[in-house]
Structure 1
Amino acid sequence: MKDKKYLPSVLIMYLNYFIHGVGCSVLGQAVIKESLATSWGCDPMSITKISAALGLGRLVALPFAGPLSDKLGRKISMFIGGLSYAVYMIGLVFAFNAGVNGGHTIAYVCAIVGGIANSFLDTGIYPAVAEAISDAPGVATMGIKFFISVSQMFLPFFLGVAVSTTATGATSYNHLFWVCGIAYVVLAALILFCPMPDTDSANGEKKQGLIASMKETHFSIESIAMILIGFTCTGTFQLWLNCAQNFAKDVAGWADPSAMQTYYSMGTLIALIVTSFLTRKIKDVRFILAYPAICLAMLIVVLVAPSQTMCTIGAFVIGWAGAGGLLQIATSVCNMIFPKIKGTVTALVMIASSLCNYTILTAAGNMTPSGVMTMNIVLTAVGVLLGLYVNLRYKNLVAQD
C-alpha cells in the first residue's frame, strides 16, 4: 500500500467481511437450524428459506446500490450496509425470542434487510479497497474473501462459546447475534471518520446506470452463458453451505457435523492462495470448467457413498473448487471476454448469483437433504456444460476482440 493513511480504513473494511462470514453462513449450521426450528415449531430444513431471503435482499438492492456508492461516496454505502446488517443480526435475536408468535416471519424480513446490507457493503467496500490499495487491487479484493473464509473457519468455535440455555430449557445462540450486530454498529460509526480515496468521484467520472448500460448492450450466446455460470457456481457452494450438514446428519449418520464448516473454510483459504499462483500460468477461463467438474465428481461420490469421511472430504473439496474464488474468476473471465461492457456483465453475473441464492435455497427448503444433494448435482452439471462451451469459444472470442 503506497498511502499508509488508508491502512486503518482497509482494516475496518475487512473486519466488516469478517463478521459477514458469520452472517452469511450461520443459518446453514445444523445446530442453528435445530435451535430456530425448535423455537418456531417447524422443520429444520425450512430454515433454508431464511437464507434464501438474503439473496432476495441482494436482488432488491443491487440495481441502485452501485450508482449510490459512485454518486454519494463509499462511506455512505458502507454506513448503510453496516447498520442494515446490524438490523439483520439483532433481528435474529428477536425472531428467536418471538418463537411461534411470528418468529419465522421476523427472521425472513430481517434476512431481506441483511441481503440489502450485503449489496451496499459490496458496492462500497470492493471499489474502496481496490482504490486504497491501487498498486495491487486484485490482492485487495482477494483479501475480502480471505477474511470471510477465516471467519467461517472459526464459526464452530464461535458457536461453542456463544451457546446458552434459556429459562425454558431451549438452546440459544443469541449471544453471537448480539455481538455481531453491535460490532456492525461500531464499524459503521468508525467508517465515517476514516479517509477514503473515492478515486472515481474525485475524478468526476459520470457512472452509467445498469438499465441504461443494458439498453446499449448486445448480448451474445457467450455472454448469456457467462451470466448463467454466475447462477450455477453460486448454487454449488450455497446448497452445500446451507444443506450439507443436514445431509451428513440425516443420511450419513453424523451426530454433530459442525466440523464440516471448518474443513469447508480451510479448502476455501488454501484455494485462494494456490489458485492465485495457478492463474499466473493457467488461463482463468480453464478454471470455470475444471473447478465445477471437480465439484460435480465430489457431489456424486458423497451422494452415492455417504459417510462421515466422505462428507469431511466433500466439505474441503467444495470449499476449494466451489467457493475458493470461482465466482470471482467467472467475473474476471467476463471482463476479459467483454471488455467494453465490463460493468454491465459483471452486474448481471452478480444479479444471477443473487437470483440463484433466492430461488434455489427457497426450493431446497421444501426438499429432503438427499433431494437437495441431487439438485446440486444437476445444477453443477449444467455449470460444467456452460464452462465447456465458453472454453471452446474462448479463443475465437479473444481473437475477435
Structure 2
Amino acid sequence: MKNPYIKMAIGLYISYFILGMINIIIGSNMENLSNQLNTSASGISYLVSAIGIGKLVSLFFAGRLSDKLGRKPFVVSASFIYLIFLVGIPLAPNYTLAFIFAICAGIANSFLDAGTYPALIEAFQKKAGSATVLIKAFVSIGATILPFIMAFFIARDLFYGYTFFLMAAVYLVNGFFLLRVSFPNHKTPSDIQSEDKVETAEPQFLSKPKFGQEGLAVILLGFTSTALFMLVQVWLPKFGQEVLGLTQAKSVQLLSYYSIGSLVSVILLAVLLNKVIKPITVMIIYPVIAAISLLSLIYIQQPFMTVLSAFFIGLSTAGVFQLAMTIITEFFPANKGTITSYVNIAASSAFIIIPFITGMISKSAGLNAVFLFDVGIAIVSILLAVFVAYRYKKVIKVPSV
C-alpha cells in the first residue's frame, strides 16, 4: 500500500535542496558581501558562525516543542523564517543587520531539523536510515546546482541578490505546500505509525541504553561529522588557491567535485543501507576514507589526485550526521524530537567553534595545518563510531525478518 506521507517527504526534501544552496551561498558571495557590508573576508566568515549561534540557541527548545506540538508547525515555520534571511542578506545596509538575518537562518535550520528528522523516521520506519540519508542527497544536489545559478546571473551582469530571491520564492511556495499535506501523528506509538508496520523489524533491547555512554558518543559524532564537512566547505577553495596554486574558478570547482562525491554517497547509501551494509558500519568506514583522502589532498599535490581527493572527501563525509540521528533514535526511541535535538546541538556547536579554531590555526600554522586538524577530527570520529558499534551489539538485538 502506498505510504500516505510521500507528499510530506517531497516537501521536506525540497526544503533541504534549498538548504544545500544556503550552506555555501555566503562563502560563494564573500566578495560581494564584503563590499556591501564594508567588512573583511573574516568578517563574512563570522556570518556562518551567526547561523550556528541561531541554530544552537533555538535547538534547546525546538526539539521538545516538536514532541509536544507536532512536526508540521516547525517545518512550515522554517520555510517562512528562511525568507527573512534570503531577502534580508542581499538588502542589508550594514553588518549588524546581516548578522541578525544570519541568526534567523540558524533558527530556521533548527526548526527544520527538529521537525523533519522525526517526521521522516515516523513516516518511514522500515527505511528510516535511507529516508534520513536522502536529506543529504538533496543538500548535495542543491550545493552542486548553486554555482550554475550564480553563473547565469553573473554572465548577464545581474544583481547577485537575485540568487537569494529565487531561493526565497521556492521556500515561500513550499511553505504553503507543506501546510496542506499530511504529517504522521507524533503521539502515535511507533509500532502502529507506519503503513509498513507488519514488515517492520523493531529492535529489542538486551540491556538498558546508557545516555552517558552510547548517547554521548553519538552526540559527539554529530559534532565531528559536521566539523568534517564544514571545515572542507569553508576552506577548500582557499586551500586550492593558496596551497595548490589554482585559479579562483578552479578552486571553486573543487567544491563541485566535493558535492558530486556527496551526492554519489547518499545515492549508494539509500540503495545499500540495511540491505548490504549497516548504518553503524558506514559510520566507521567513512571517517577512515575521509582521513586517507585528506592526507592525499595535503601531500599529493597533483591535479588528478586533487580532484579525486575532493570527490572522496565529499563521498566520505556525506550522510554520517543523518545516520547518527537515526542511530540515536534506535537507542532512545521515546521523544525523538528531543533526543535528535541533542545531536543537532552538537552539530550547531561545530558551526560556531570550527570557524574560530581553524581561523586561528590558519593564521599561526597555515592551511596545511587546518586540513591536518580535519584528519584529527576524522580519527576521533572513527574511535567514537567503534565504541558506538560495540555498545549497539551489547544493547540492541534486531530480530531477523
| TM-score above 0.5 | yes
Provide the rounded CA distance (Å) in 2 between the counterparts of 1:242 and 1:268. 16
Check 1:321–1:86 CA distance in 2 against 1; reply closer, same or farther (3 A cut): same
- Taking the TM superposition and a 5 Å limit, the aligned residue runs for 1:316-331 are 316-323=311-318, 325-331=319-325
User: Which residue of the other structure, out of 147, 150, 160, is the alignment partner of 1:159?
Assistant: 150
1:142 correspondence with 2:142: no
Gaps of 5+ in 1: 204-215
1:13 correspondence with 2:8: no
Letter in 2 for 1:306: Q
- Taking the TM superposition and a 5 Å limit, the aligned residue runs for 1:303-342 are 303-323=298-318, 325-337=319-331
Letter in 1 for 2:313: I
Structure 2 counterpart SS, 1:258: helix
Q: TM (normalized to structure 2)?
A: 0.82
Check 1:112–1:41 CA distance in 2 against 1; reply closer, same or farther (3 A cut): same
- 1:157 Cα shift? 0.5
Instruction: Name the residue aligned to 1:51.
Output: 48
- 1:367 Cα shift? 4.7
Gaps of 5+ in 2: 190-207
- Taking the TM superposition and a 5 Å limit, the aligned residue runs for 1:60-75 are 60-75=57-72
Instruction: Name the residue aligned to 1:352.
Output: 346
Moved more, 297-306 or 234-243: 297-306
Provide the rounded CA distance (Å) in 2 between the counterparts of 1:37 and 1:164. 21
Structure 1 counterpart SS, 2:186: helix
Is this contact kept in 2: 1:267–1:319, CA < 8 A?
Answer: yes
Is this contact kept in 2: 1:21–1:148, CA < 8 A?
Answer: yes
Cα displacement string for residues 7-40 of structure 1 (whole angstroms, at most 9, x for unaligned residues) = 54443332222111111222233xx223323444
Cα displacement string for residues 110-130 of structure 1 (whole angstroms, at most 9, x for unaligned residues) = 111101001112222333445
Instruction: Name the residue aligned to 2:372.
Output: 374
Cα displacement string for residues 170-191 of structure 1 (whole angstroms, at most 9, x for unaligned residues) = x952110111123222322333
- 1:107 Cα shift? 2.3
- 1:397 Cα shift? 4.3
Provide the rounded CA distance (Å) in 1 between the counterparts of 2:235 and 2:381. 19
Provide the rounded CA distance (Å) in 2 between the counterparts of 1:307 and 1:347. 41
Provide the rounded CA distance (Å) in 1 between the counterparts of 2:289 and 2:126. 33
Provide the rounded CA distance (Å) in 2 between the counterparts of 1:130 and 1:386. 23
Letter in 1 for 2:227: G
User: Which residue of the other structure, out of 355, 362, 379, is the alignment partner of 1:361?
Assistant: 355
Check 1:339–1:201 CA distance in 2 against 1; reply closer, same or farther (3 A cut): closer
Letter in 1 for 2:324: A
- 1:252 Cα shift? 0.8
Is this contact kept in 2: 1:162–1:174, CA < 8 A?
Answer: no
Instruction: Name the residue aligned to 1:292.
Output: 287
How many positions carry a matched residue from both structures? 373
Is this contact kept in 1: 2:17–2:138, CA < 8 A?
Answer: yes
- Taking the TM superposition and a 5 Å limit, the aligned residue runs for 1:199-278 are 199-201=185-187, 219-255=211-247, 256=249, 257-276=251-270, 277=272
Is this contact kept in 2: 1:65–1:119, CA < 8 A?
Answer: yes
- 1:43 Cα shift? 3.7
Is this contact kept in 1: 2:67–2:337, CA < 8 A?
Answer: no
Provide the rounded CA distance (Å) in 2 between the counterparts of 1:135 and 1:219. 24
- 1:337 Cα shift? 4.6
Letter in 2 for 1:388: V
Check 1:365–1:112 CA distance in 2 against 1; reply closer, same or farther (3 A cut): farther
Provide the rounded CA distance (Å) in 1 between the counterparts of 2:326 and 2:162. 39
Check 1:161–1:279 CA distance in 2 against 1; reply closer, same or farther (3 A cut): same
Is this contact kept in 2: 1:231–1:349, CA < 8 A?
Answer: yes
Moved more, 120-129 or 330-339: 330-339
Provide the rounded CA distance (Å) in 1 between the counterparts of 2:182 and 2:332. 30
- 1:234 Cα shift? 1.0
Cα displacement string for residues 208-264 of structure 1 (whole angstroms, at most 9, x for unaligned residues) = xxxxxxxx9954334322221211111101100121111111211111122222222
